[in-house]
Amino acid sequence: MAKRVLITGAAGFLGSHLCDRFINEGFDVIGIDNLITGDLANIEHLFKLEQFDFYHHDVTKFVHVPGDLDYILHFASPASPIDYLKIPIQTLKVGSLGTHNLLGLAKEKKARILIASTSEVYGDPLVHPQTEDYYGNVNTIGPRGVYDEAKRFQESITMAYHRFHGLETRIVRIFNTYGPRMRLNDGRVIPAFIGQALRGEDLTVFGDGTQTRSFCYVDDQVEGIYRLLMSDYVYPVNIGNPDEITILEFAEEIIKLTGTDQKIVHKDLPIDDPLQRKPDISRAKEILGWEAKVSRQDGMQKTYAYFKNLTKEQLYKSEHKDFSKHIQK
Ligand code: UDP
């Protein structure tokens, strides 16, 4: 019998790619999403498959799944700084209450659970590149605090379930990842720059653009996550591409890639925007035999091809997604 895996955040960017991967590996996949930031278009192609099921559900409420489960991957969460500002309470709840519900479900089903943590647990890091044993530098009360602290709590409660209940747990710390199905207007730098180039607008670099990021192509990220889930390693593992670049240089690369002659304009740097970020992936190499394979050039070509195919209507619907009916006061 096929193994069954539950994936939360299934209609999101990473969640939908994970659904594809597990279907291809021969699993039965159950996707859950409340569709606040996710988009059914990302998993539409799976609905016709017998191996795929979808529940429209908010995992901060009790999660009921009939039958056995072998694995759970908890990927539900807003994941962009603009989203945290607009839906801060949901962001906190899905990382804390949502994780608690899924750990309870994993215990009940005797399933192995992998939770999606993030490089944001390192905050604005004082150690570079970031190793897993760095404790981080997070502003608890800043705008990103709702995400960062939810994810830090998520790691703690996951280790508590491992230690206290003997649950099989895995923790991946995901660094900036990109590829097809990113939300065009989620405010993240890659869809922002590509969208601007396609619309003929200036590219908005925040601050002086000397802050760095290291971008990992989604297929590499999914491979790392898959290997971690199948491994027997319970401590956090960084998965990301260590190829670091400043945001200003990256804007210049986008202009070359898109063949446009857009100008670069500078805007205010958001509060607590990390100055530098680059994963140390020694642990992933040693334990999982994993490292990123897709160069930024190849990954960005594929990503650009995806965004170029969007309709004019999608491209010009440039305002941020309307969350008003979900806002909790
Ligand atoms: N950024 C930018 N212009 C934009 C969007 C983002 O210069 O239109 C910068 C942002 O300030 C940050 C970097 O790009 O330094 C990456 O931002 P993103 O929101 O993608 O991810 P994160 O800050 O969480 O790494």
pLDDT at 34: 98
- Cα 45 from Cα 48, distance rounded (Å): 7
pLDDT for residue 323: 79
Selected residue with higher pLDDT from 84 and 239: 239
**Active-site residue identified among 71, 84, 122, 147:** 147
Q: Is 104 in the pocket of ligand 1 (CB under 6 A)?
A: no
Kindly state if the Cβ of 93 falls inside 6 Å of ligand 1: no
Q: What is the DSSP string of 139-206?
A: -TTSTTHHHHHHHHHHHHHHHHHHHHH---EEEEEE--EE-TT--TTS--HHHHHHHHHHHTPPEEEE
From the list 163, 160, 120, 166, the residue with the least C-alpha distance to 139 is 120
Say if residue 329's pLDDT is above 70: no
- Can you tell me which atom of ligand 1 is nearest the CA of 120? 24
**Is residue 221's pLDDT more than 90?**
yes
Which is the CATH superfamily of the domain at 4-326? NAD(P)-binding Rossmann-like Domain (3.40.50.720)
Average pLDDT of the segment spanning 132-154: 97
DSSP category for residue 67? S
Give residue 277's identity as a one-letter amino acid code. Answer: R
Q: Which of 213, 244, 271 should be mutated for ligand 1, with most atoms under 8 A from CB? A: 213
Distance 118 CA to ligand 1 centre (A): 15
Q: Is the peptide bond before 270 cis (omega within 30 degrees of 0)?
A: no
Q: Is the pLDDT of residue 8 over 90?
A: yes
Ligand 1: does its nearest atom lie under 6 Å from the Cβ of 204? yes
Domain extents in the chain: 4-326
Let me know if 147 is a catalytic residue. Answer: yes
Ligand 1 mutation target, pool 206, 214, 277, most atoms within 8 A of CB: 206
Note the pLDDT of residue 199.
93
Calpha distance 245→58 (Å, rounded)? 36
Ligand 1 near 162 CB (within 6 A): no
CB of 252 shorter than 6 A to ligand 1: no
Determine the pLDDT at residue 230. 98
CA terminus-to-terminus distance, the chain: 46
Would you state the structure tokens that stand for residue 127, as one six-digit string?
Answer: 């150690």
CB within 8 Å of 19: residues ≥ 6 apart: 7, 10, 29, 31, 43, 46, 52
To the nearest whole percent, how much of the chain has pLDDT over 70? 99
Question: Under a CB-based contact definition with an 8 Å cutoff, are residues 301 and 169 in contact?
Answer: no
The predicted-structure confidence for 82-140, as pLDDT tens digits, reads as follows 999 999 999 999 999 999 999 999 999 999 999 999 999 999 999 999 999 999 999 99
Q: Is the pLDDT of residue 302 over 80?
A: yes
Looking at every residue in the chain, the average pLDDT score rounds to: 96
Q: What is the pLDDT of residues 169-190, one digit of tens each?
A: 999 999 999 999 999 989 999 9
Indicate whether 318 pLDDT > 70.
no
| Entry pTM | 0.97
Ligand 1 contacts CB of residue 188 (under 6 A): yes
Q: What is the mean pLDDT of residues 187-213?
A: 96
